[in-house]
Copies of this chain bind each other. A is one copy, B any other.
Amino acid sequence: MARARISDVAAAAGVSVTTVSLVMNDVESRISEETRTRVREAARAIGYAPSSVARGLRTQQTRTVGLISDQIATTPFAGDMLAGAQDAARENGYLVFLIDTGGDSAIEADAIRALTAQQVDALIYACMWHQVVPAPAGLPAGAVFLDCRPENGGYRSVVPDDRAGGAAAVRELVAAGHRRIAYIDTDDTPIASNLRHEGYLEVLAEHGIPVDPALHVQGETTARGGRAAFEQLLELPEEQRPTAIFCFNDRMAAGVYIAAHRRGLDIPRDLSIVGYDDQQLVAAEQDPPLTTIALPHYDMGRWAMEVALGVRAEGDEDATHLMECPVIRRDSVGPPPAQVAKPNRRRASHTERPPEAATDR
């Protein structure tokens, strides 16, 4: 059977289409309660549902949003951003068109065209990880950047506060008593890695811990890369080795776990580790479960959608919103290995690790 139209309902209820429209849209005013119920029943009886297409044409509002991403929907990294965005869209009665471009700019341009032709009411441009990107040509004003920033501004955006996150990670380690803290870094993703590194340096400075360049190593952002970087650290003379490691991400931390376990090192007894991302299937599945810094994907997705929809008032048309990365405490952080075993291990202990360090938690 063909779709029921508003005129069918009108005929069935013995009223005009105007009345049906008024009833279906819950326009307060006029219309007696009796007519109301008559219309509603007729509608239900013939299974009528208004056509969003016709309504969209008439009102020039489609209650539809476009979400263009490089790959968030199809990779395991940042799906929660979608969840946040979707939830916000649904709560406000919007449907979302999702287009993963795979990073292909031709597809991206087509996507913008197609979404514009669809007259979406809002547009979100999302990346799978924090980066600074050129704003694609033709991107409508009012679009919101999610997990990325337009390099020349002009749009609102939301990204994780990686600097504060890096600081929080290191603070966690310092609070446990560590002073020799390595940072296993990467150069694959410059923005995030630089910011986290800044946070690392900031906390060392805060506590008067000298920076040892030998404790800053790099690798690719995989378990293999983390493992290789860790092995580099193990080549240091024993007293120079770290007692704790802050890893750029959880995958790299997983590599450290593998190497540590193979050498019989116990986590956290012999080595404390903090990761980053709180990545599903990685962080919590380690043994012991990994303490890490969570990327606020869900909240960023929700923020972006609410701002794009105009549901959340954000003063500035051209500002970057930094979202906090919470510490997820699990079991990979403990105090440094007891040093009584190596009484003569270093210089005067007050320079090495002031007892006060234990108290600043």
Contact = CB atoms under 8 A, between A and B. Distances in A.
A30 interface: no
A283 to B, nearest CB: 11
Interface in A84-121: 86, 90, 95-100, 102, 107, 110, 113-119
Given A52-B119, A119-B51, A97 B97 contact: yes
Given A56-B53, A285-B224, A74 B98 contact: no
A117 B50 contact: yes
Interface in A107-148: 107, 110, 113-119
A100 B84 CA distance: 11
B95 A118 contact: yes
Interface in A35-58: 49-54, 56-57
B73 A82 contact: yes
A281 interface: yes
Nearest to A76: B76
Contacts of A98: 73, 82, 86, 96-98
Given A76-B77, A82-B100, 5 more contacts: A73-B86, A74-B82, A76-B280, A90-B107, A255-B285
Interface of A: 3, 49-54, 56-57, 62, 64, 73-77, 79-80, 82-83, 86, 90, 95-100, 102, 107, 110, 113-119, 222-224, 227, 251, 254-255, 258, 261-262, 279-282, 285-287
